[in-house]
């Protein structure tokens, strides 16, 4: 069957099981948009190409499937780079389709031409420029395979306009074979057993969980292993939801704004079991003082991640689901009394949790505390199967600290790149995937303005996302660092003007609310959750509130600042 290139793209996406794409048209991709007219694919028209990339990212994180974004050439393509880099840093499977000028004009500085393959090479797992329509179907098959296997990540396909207009026989490949790309999925049994034996010898172990646990869909196996072996669990920001946060073995998030118990457990442990994390600098602090007296077991599907920052004594390269199943099989066969063995360690951790819980002081001015808003947002969401997204900064950290999670893929946040403007479009992507669930974005008044234009997208497609703005009138985390480390020299971190968020929401066709009293917080949230359309809640919160605990950048846990 002979089809035009644009039709080949559409049929290939359908063959991959894609049901929704996020995009913005332009001259170079008009043949593709023409092919989409009436096709069995839902297209969500965004208001900025960065929003399309974040929506595809949010869709992917919430579902576990590959997200797809479609944009035109030149500025359309370059506008997606922040979204692509965000997905790359957090290993999110995405395919980004970009338009390109005709093959004969590439390199001639043609109108709206940009070398998007070259520009995105450092922040994609792989990039393609398709010069021949006969290569199109195979390229798309390879792109989805690369994006979703091994360590997931974004793959870009650049599509010249004449390739989209040319015709070729269409037959979508059933399989992919790439000689240079064969991820190691199965953990070596001897290495897994060696890791398990080290855990058996430990008196003070800790399970350090990264986002790879969620990407591998291995959370249930993790819970089984932790409960069987009675090992305490701490997670990175990216792994929030990988383990139930209200379980007695959970220590809270670790790192710069992690809990005292989690950070001290990492400092005092004798065996550290790193599962799908990468020893980010926000976790380790000063490397020469981190994990000096413990055996490090590191499991990751990406061999280049192992021993990159912290030397692993026992490395295991494999998919985490495979490794967790093998560890559970070993634990089931073993007769050791894990609870008795770890009781002194667990008792000590309980004391730390009791002495130094996450907390915040009462307001001295009567203004709402942001942590209170987050707590109430979670309380009001009980029974509604919520998905949470965040912007970046103080609001992001308070969300990670004071929300509770029972399962994976319920907390979507830009961890690696720390992208302001991520939360609202990611929430729209998640809501598009799950129209019946409650999706709430926790934002600051600074970060929400990075992509607030996408509120009209939510309104147009009847996606009832809720936005909680913790409005303190400043760039909160910048302001906090300036207060603590720059002698309160608040250089360009205080907004002299902000828009009227209520009127802005109404202008977009959403519902706007402003809340200034603590007593009105819960009723406003409950009302917002009941409304079946996008709602923006502008909570006026205390300006001077800070995120604690805090380990100073480049510091150690011994320098941790508590409330």
Q: Would residue 111 show up in a list of annotated catalytic residues for this protein?
A: yes
- Cα dihedral sign for 116, 21, 102, 111? negative
Q: What is the pLDDT of residue 364?
A: 77
Structural contact between residues 370 and 542, judged by C-beta atoms closer than 8 angstroms: yes
Q: What is the pLDDT of residue 365?
A: 79
Q: Would residue 161 show up in a list of annotated catalytic residues for this protein?
A: yes
**Strands 205-209, 154-160: parallel, antiparallel or unpaired by DSSP?**
unpaired
C-alpha distance from residue 475 to each of 421, 422, 469, 471, 494 (Å): 13, 16, 13, 10, 6
Q: What is the pLDDT of residue 235?
A: 98
Classify residue 146 by burial, with Cβ atoms within 10 Å: 0-12, 13-18, 19+: buried
Which residues contact residue 117 at a Cβ distance below 8 angstroms, ignoring those fewer than 6 apart? 127, 128, 129, 156, 158
Say whether 308 sits in a helix, a strand or coil. Answer: coil
Q: Which of 112, 404, 453, 460 is catalytic?
A: 112
Question: Which residues in the chain come in under a pLDDT of 70?
Answer: none
Token pair 């079946």 in the structure block, residue: 532
DSSP notation for 78-124? HTTHHHHHHHHHTT--EEEEEEE--GGGTTTT-TT---HHHHHGGGS
Question: pLDDT tens across 21-78, in order?
Answer: 999 999 999 999 999 999 999 999 999 999 999 999 999 999 999 999 999 999 999 9
Inter-axis angle of helices 81-89 and 49-63, to 10 degrees? Answer: 20
- Number of other CB atoms surrounding residue 323 within 10 Å: 28
Q: How would you classify residue 94: left for phi > 0, otherwise alpha for psi between -120 and 50, otherwise beta?
A: beta
Q: Which of 264, 477, 537, 550 is catalytic?
A: 477
Q: Which of 125, 141, 151, 161 is catalytic?
A: 161
Q: What is the pLDDT of residue 291?
A: 84
Question: pLDDT tens across 337-388, in order?
Answer: 999 999 999 999 999 999 999 999 988 778 999 999 999 999 999 999 999 9
Preceding omega of 549 cis (within 30 degrees of 0): yes
Classify residue 334 by burial, with Cβ atoms within 10 Å: 0-12, 13-18, 19+: exposed
First to last CA, the chain: 68
Q: Would residue 49 show up in a list of annotated catalytic residues for this protein?
A: yes
Strands of the 271-275 sheet, one edge to the other: 250-253, 233-235, 205-209, 271-275, 295-300, 314-317
Q: Which of 11, 16, 49, 221 is catalytic?
A: 49
């Amino acid at each position: 069957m002979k089809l035009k290139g644009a039709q080949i793209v559409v049929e290939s996406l359908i063959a991959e099981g894609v049901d929704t794409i996020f995009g913005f048209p332009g001259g170079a991709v008009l043949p593709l948009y023409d092919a989409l007219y009436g096709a069995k694919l839902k297209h969500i028209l965004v208001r900025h190409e960065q929003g399309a990339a974040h929506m595809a990212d949010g869709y992917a994180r919430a579902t576990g499937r590959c997200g797809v974004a479609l944009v035109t050439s030149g500025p359309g393509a370059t506008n997606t780079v922040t979204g692509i880099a965000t997905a790359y840093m957090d290993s999110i499977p995405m395919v980004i389709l970009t338009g390109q000028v005709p093959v004969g004009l590439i390199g001639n500085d043609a109108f709206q031409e940009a070398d998007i393959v070259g520009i995105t090479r450092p922040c994609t797992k792989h990039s393609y420029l398709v010069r021949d329509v006969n290569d199109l179907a195979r390229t798309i098959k390879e792109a989805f395979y690369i994006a979703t296997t091994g360590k997931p990540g974004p793959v870009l396909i650049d599509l010249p306009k004449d390739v989209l207009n040319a015709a070729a026989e269409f037959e979508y490949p059933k399989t992919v074979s790439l000689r240079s790309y064969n991820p190691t999925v199965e953990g070596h049994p001897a290495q897994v057993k060696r890791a398990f034996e080290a855990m058996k010898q430990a008196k003070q172990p800790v399970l350090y969980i990264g986002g790879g646990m969620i990407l591998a869909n291995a959370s249930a196996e993790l819970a089984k292993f932790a409960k069987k072996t009675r090992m305490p669990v701490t997670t990175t920001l990216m792994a929030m939801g990988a383990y139930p946060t209200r379980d007695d073995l959970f220590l809270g998030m670790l790192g710069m704004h992690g809990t005292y118990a989690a950070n001290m457990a990492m400092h005092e442990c004798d065996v550290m079991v790193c599962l799908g994390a990468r020893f980010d600098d926000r976790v380790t602090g000063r490397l020469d003082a981190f994990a000096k007296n413990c055996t490090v077991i590191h499991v990751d599907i990406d061999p280049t991640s192992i021993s990159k920052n912290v030397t692993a004594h026992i490395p295991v390269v494999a998919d985490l689901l495979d490794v967790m199943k093998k560890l559970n099989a070993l634990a089931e066969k073993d007769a050791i009394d894990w609870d008795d063995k770890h009781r002194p360690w667990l008792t000590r951790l309980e004391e730390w949790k009791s002495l130094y819980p996450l907390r915040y002081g009462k307001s001295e001015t009567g203004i709402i505390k942001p942590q209170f808003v987050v707590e109430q947002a979670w309380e009001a969401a009980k029974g509604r199967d919520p998905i949470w997204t965040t912007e970046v900064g103080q609001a992001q950290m308070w969300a990670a600290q004071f929300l509770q999670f029972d399962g994976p893929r319920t907390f979507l946040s830009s961890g690696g790149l720390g992208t302001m403007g991520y939360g609202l479009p990611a929430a729209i992507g998640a809501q598009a995937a799950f129209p019946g669930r409650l999706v709430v974005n926790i934002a600051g008044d600074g970060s929400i303005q990075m992509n607030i234009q996408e509120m009209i997208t939510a309104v147009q497609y009847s996606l009832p996302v809720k936005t909680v703005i913790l409005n303190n009138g400043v760039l909160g985390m910048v302001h906090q660092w300036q207060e603590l480390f720059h002698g309160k020299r608040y250089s360009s971190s205080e907004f002299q003007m902000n828009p009227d968020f209520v009127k802005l929401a109404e202008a977009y066709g959403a519902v706007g609310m402003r809340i200034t009293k603590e007593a009105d917080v819960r009723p406003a949230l409950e009302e917002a959750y009941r409304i079946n359309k996008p709602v923006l809640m502008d909570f006026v919160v205390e300006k001077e509130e800070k995120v604690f605990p805090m380990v100073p950048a480049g510091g150690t846990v011994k320098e941790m600042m508590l409330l």
